[in-house]
Structure 1
């Protein structure tokens, strides 16, 4: 009987010792795992704090992206060109305030546009990495940025330039956000409305220089309007898949034939638009001669796009459009008719006439 009990007791003792050793090792492993988990959590907290700090450091970059800084740069450039090409003399202070105010108005409009289009931008390859889609900043933050930018821009234009220029800037914000943006998903007419929006900045520059909108601003408006119709239709041709996924109504998607016809028409329309410049006293007639070469090549590329209807011809037309606009505006500036200011030239002419009449009477 004892012989049977002793081996059992010995086995129980051995089992209890093994269990105790296993428990101590297991408990130690648990403690180590918990400590490693705590260390990882502390590292994650530090990483989150660094990420938050990094986000604040990157805020200016986010604001630039929210402003669509390349597009805003183009808008400011056309406003500056409108001011420089207008017939009156250049004032650096007014020129600087015009540039700043126009840039802020454009930034506000683009920020509101991105806020409205968050659900649609996420579906498009071209826009899926925008700051609001990636949630780098909140929609409320974006609206706050747009409000401050828009109010500051309009106020700067009204107080430092003139009320007419400020009114044009404010109207363009409303036209871009309340008409063009929502209509992009409703009708292809959005392209024409968008071209009007893009043609307003040179009018702002002209109004900042002259103080009114006369016949001289029509060639600038026509240039920007027709140029955009070519530029955007060529661009949209190679983005048809993106626009389809986003649900946007674009000619390249809804009516490809109309897209090509409109692009060609406005390539050709740029020729008489350039003739309007000397007719309305903005440039000399040499501008027509100089611009004819650039416009002829643009028209040729538009014709190729119309006939071939392929991605390559659309891409070449789009790429040359990026060069066409600055070239034409530079030629307008080079061939500007009134360099000393139209009013000053008229006053000088009146003085010369008076001196001549006095000399005749003497």
Structure 2
């Protein structure tokens, strides 16, 4: 009787493990960060709150699109993921999901994303999502990631695509404020990802991935991160100045957040130059908080 009563619990744990493994393939933390920029872009485009139906379809479609791209990334990178301490426990290297199953899952997610966006949003939003999936999974993952130190810069294009997708879902077109917001998210990604890559420099070197932190010295990475942080601040101020629905509240808030990002990148560079523990994950954490608060500031300024 005890053995029989334990069977449902065991089955439930197995099912939970399988579901968890497939969710992990999509890199949910990264998906969440990408979607943080989608909603404020939609709100700017609508000059207020879009319909709940449109918001839901765009967010779910975007989540599936990002999840598909990340799943393809996990499928293709399964060989180097086994070599890196940060990634060796991902579903494919750990054996939780087979490569074939992961590839099928990615295709299903991509098809679901594009179908939902096509039926519920606009053709342009659907096309942008398709381009973003291909750009990340093929151009970045399969072509550039293992070949050039500039892989992060190329990967930043699909990383900033949710802004354009969100705007296009509302208007069916693009406008300069959307391009400016895209520039903010694009520039922001370099210090963000270079800080993470610096923390795991030895991992990437072991896997033979020519991240900037592997092929260039720490000071060079720090200097370039500072430059891109300044570019993030400049793009933020530009966005505030050319977006009619944003006022002085965003100009001040966005400026302060951008200045914080710049200051933290300078502090990272100073630690590198002074030969003390550089703590790159501090800049990484600040970058996440910065983008989250910037998106909230946009939403508040549009609604108030």
Q: Within 1, Cα distance between the matches of 2:193 and 2:69?
A: 18
Match of 1:268 in 2: 230
TM norm structure 1: 0.76
TM-superposed CA distance for 1:53, in Å, is 7.5
2:262 counterpart (293, 299, 306): 299
Superposed CA offset, 1:153-184 (max 9, x none): 01100111111111111111100111111211
Whether the 8 Å CA contact 1:83–1:206 is kept in 2: the answer is yes
Q: Do the aligned partners of residues 223 and 51 (structure 1) sit closer, same or farther apart at CA in structure 2, a change above 3 Å counting?
A: same
Q: Do the aligned partners of residues 297 and 281 (structure 1) sit closer, same or farther apart at CA in structure 2, a change above 3 Å counting?
A: closer
Whether the 8 Å CA contact 1:107–1:149 is kept in 2: the answer is yes
Match of 2:300 in 1: 334
Using CA pairs below 8 Å that are at least 6 residues apart, which structure has the higher relative contact order?
Answer: 2
- Extract unaligned runs of 5+ from structure 2: 4-8
Corresponding residue SS for 1:136: coil
Q: Do the aligned partners of residues 176 and 311 (structure 1) sit closer, same or farther apart at CA in structure 2, a change above 3 Å counting?
A: farther
* Aligned length, in residue pairs: 293
Whether the 8 Å CA contact 2:233–2:262 is kept in 1: the answer is no
Match of 1:174 in 2: 134
Q: Within 2, Cα distance between the matches of 1:99 and 1:70?
A: 15
Q: Higher mean Cα deviation, 84-93 or 108-117?
A: 84-93
TM norm structure 2: 0.90
Whether the 8 Å CA contact 1:238–1:311 is kept in 2: the answer is no
Whether the 8 Å CA contact 2:204–2:211 is kept in 1: the answer is yes
Superposed CA offset, 1:267-304 (max 9, x none): 11122212212332241133222222222222111112
Q: Do the aligned partners of residues 162 and 263 (structure 1) sit closer, same or farther apart at CA in structure 2, a change above 3 Å counting?
A: same
Q: 1:166-315 residue pairs with structure 2 within 5 A? A: 166-182=126-142, 183-256=144-217, 257-282=219-244, 283-309=246-272, 311-315=277-281
Q: Within 2, Cα distance between the matches of 1:133 and 1:63?
A: 13
- Extract unaligned runs of 5+ from structure 1: 1-42, 44-49, 341-362
TM-superposed CA distance for 1:317, in Å, is 1.3
Superposed CA offset, 1:73-92 (max 9, x none): 22222222211232444111
The alignment's C-alpha RMSD in Å is: 2.3
Whether the 8 Å CA contact 1:304–1:313 is kept in 2: the answer is no
Q: Do the aligned partners of residues 330 and 162 (structure 1) sit closer, same or farther apart at CA in structure 2, a change above 3 Å counting?
A: same
Match of 2:35 in 1: 76
- Specify the structure having the higher radius of gyration (Cα): 1
Match of 2:6 in 1: none
Q: 1:108-187 residue pairs with structure 2 within 5 A? A: 108-182=68-142, 183-187=144-148
Q: Within 2, Cα distance between the matches of 1:292 and 1:82?
A: 18
Corresponding residue SS for 1:86: helix
